[in-house]
Structure 1
């Protein structure tokens, strides 16, 4: 039986695993088959003015292949998994209607999960509950609230850093408001679950030290490219603050804190690299919960070739 045509191909993996290079190479290979367009699956790339610290694709890369959901929002605003699923769905249809292959590329796994599995009935924000949690965090500290979260929602706590105030607060807010864990909402069946056919190709290194070295090298390149000046420029705007989702992105949060407290650049670098490693660990945890993915060892010399080969096989199946 002929398999139904694919809707898109997802190329995912932890930060610094080579997703962008693989996606651009695949898009180039697809030129003879109508071409491809990239839909960013990244919670930081949506923000304008945040280029260096997000490792945003270069102008040359953006010009080589059409990209979507990059530079669409001011950092003053928030962007959610629901926003992503709502915007990515018609983009996939539009790209396919023009005879091209949509490539979903990034590492914000909650966004991909929302797209692939549909949206659940997680309650909207409750300002009163949120304010009460924030007040408790001021008294006890976020690590203490992370420990509380681990008691009521260990699955969510396991993928969050103890200082991830935004996500810890949201998970506790859901628990307080509903008596249900956030992870139970994520796992529950969704009546509007879409019938997607989207193969997931995941670049995952078999050696954590290899990934750590890549993360450190990339952070050094960002520092050399003027990352701290970028953060200083964002601070100088006057309308941003460190509790915004955009400014809590990995790297930006540590740089903002370091500039506030007068850290030397070496300390900002150290904290930024540690936070990025923690992000990568959480991303890998997410990926391992997706048994349908096909894994490519990111360390392999022919990793890009493997990604292209798997994608081509999916497209011609």
Structure 2
């Protein structure tokens, strides 16, 4: 059986389904979650508890401290090695999560782009201050229409990077990315778990945030804050952690923190759904479907592409 990719928006029920699959089939779970790699970020990342990790082998969980970076490139390298090791043991690699940048890095590879040039980046920002970002987006469309078609005219960071790469190398960013995409991709069954209606997903998102607060999310963030970590660390800018940290600093009251956390979580889920709808190969599954586990296991056992 090939590897299995189980993707879906936050709060869709991926972890519970993964454990149910592993109870039926000889799987090991590889986390595809940019938050679960960090020690101490447990409640807010919905990290599998000790019982789940004792029942089924989990990989790429608790492998970094919050102030230690972990990149998509490192994930790709680690995940490819784990897939090979798990398959060598005669088991099925079950890659589960909602960090789609990691999935994309695994499937398409990563371009070895020219290093950032602070002076050029500053020059581009100064141009934008004078001409406006839409004008720079139009310039990007002339030199790299493929990349520009994927980038909104107001997306400053990606417009800047696209122009920076082109000006440094004379080669379009999309060309660099296409070269990376030629890397060998692991064959996989792609499963997408998502409620059929957006209101149902948003209700699940809100309920999960309430459950995280009840489980001690505020105390978890307080402990991270007491350790002396910088609140601007990427790990601590994650949805939920950012809002609770702001509350602990006295910048918002509890009620405002709860609403901000839920709103940010719903927005994140919406972005994830938008990403997933562009996937032409995934098998879409309703987490509330009575036969979802039987259907998933049949897809895995037949190696459905």
Q: One fold, TM greater than 0.5?
A: yes
Q: Secondary structure at the match of 1:190?
A: helix
Q: Matches of 1:210 and 1:295 in 2, distance apart? A: 16
- Say if 2:69 is the partner of 1:74: no
Is the alpha carbon distance of 1:223 and 1:98 closer, same or farther for their aligned partners in structure 2, counting shifts above 3 Å? Answer: same
Is the alpha carbon distance of 1:265 and 1:26 closer, same or farther for their aligned partners in structure 2, counting shifts above 3 Å? Answer: same
Q: Select 1:184's aligned residue among 174, 177, 180.
A: 174
Q: Is the 8 A contact 2:189 2:303 kept in 1?
A: yes
Instruction: Give the structure 1 partner of residue 145 of structure 2.
Output: none
Instruction: Give the structure 2 partner of residue 24 of structure 1.
Output: 19
Note the aligned Cα RMSD (angstroms): 3.1
Aligned pairs for 1:77-226 (under 5 A) are 77-127=68-118, 153=148, 155-157=150-152, 171-179=158-166, 184=174, 188-190=178-180, 192-226=182-216
TM-score (norm 2): 0.84
Tell me how far 1:242 sits from its aligned partner. Answer: 2.5
Tell me how far 1:293 sits from its aligned partner. Answer: 1.1
Is the alpha carbon distance of 1:281 and 1:194 closer, same or farther for their aligned partners in structure 2, counting shifts above 3 Å? Answer: same
TM-score (norm 1): 0.81
1:252-297 deviation line (CA, Å, top 9, x unaligned): 1111222224422221111111111111111112212220111112
Q: Matches of 1:281 and 1:105 in 2, distance apart? A: 19
Q: Matches of 2:158 and 2:172 in 1, distance apart? A: 6
Q: Select 1:306's aligned residue among 285, 288, 295.
A: 295
1:157-203 deviation line (CA, Å, top 9, x unaligned): 59xxx9xxxxx675355234224899836862426511421111111
Q: Matches of 2:44 and 2:119 in 1, distance apart? A: 33
Tell me how far 1:154 sits from its aligned partner. Answer: 6.2
Q: Secondary structure at the match of 1:199?
A: strand
1:67-120 deviation line (CA, Å, top 9, x unaligned): 000000011022221111011111110111111110010011111111112222
Aligned residues: 292
Instruction: Give the structure 2 partner of residue 278 of structure 1.
Output: 267
Instruction: Give the structure 2 partner of residue 14 of structure 1.
Output: 9
Is the alpha carbon distance of 1:212 and 1:313 closer, same or farther for their aligned partners in structure 2, counting shifts above 3 Å? Answer: same
Is the alpha carbon distance of 1:280 and 1:156 closer, same or farther for their aligned partners in structure 2, counting shifts above 3 Å? Answer: farther
Q: Secondary structure at the match of 2:76?
A: helix
- Stretches of structure 2 that go unaligned for 5 or more consecutive residues are 141-147
Q: Matches of 1:14 and 1:149 in 2, distance apart? A: 33
Instruction: Give the structure 2 partner of residue 48 of structure 1.
Output: 39
Is the alpha carbon distance of 1:296 and 1:237 closer, same or farther for their aligned partners in structure 2, counting shifts above 3 Å? Answer: same
Moved more, 241-250 or 46-55: 241-250
Instruction: Give the structure 2 partner of residue 165 of structure 1.
Output: none
Instruction: Give the structure 2 partner of residue 254 of structure 1.
Output: 243
Q: Secondary structure at the match of 2:28?
A: strand
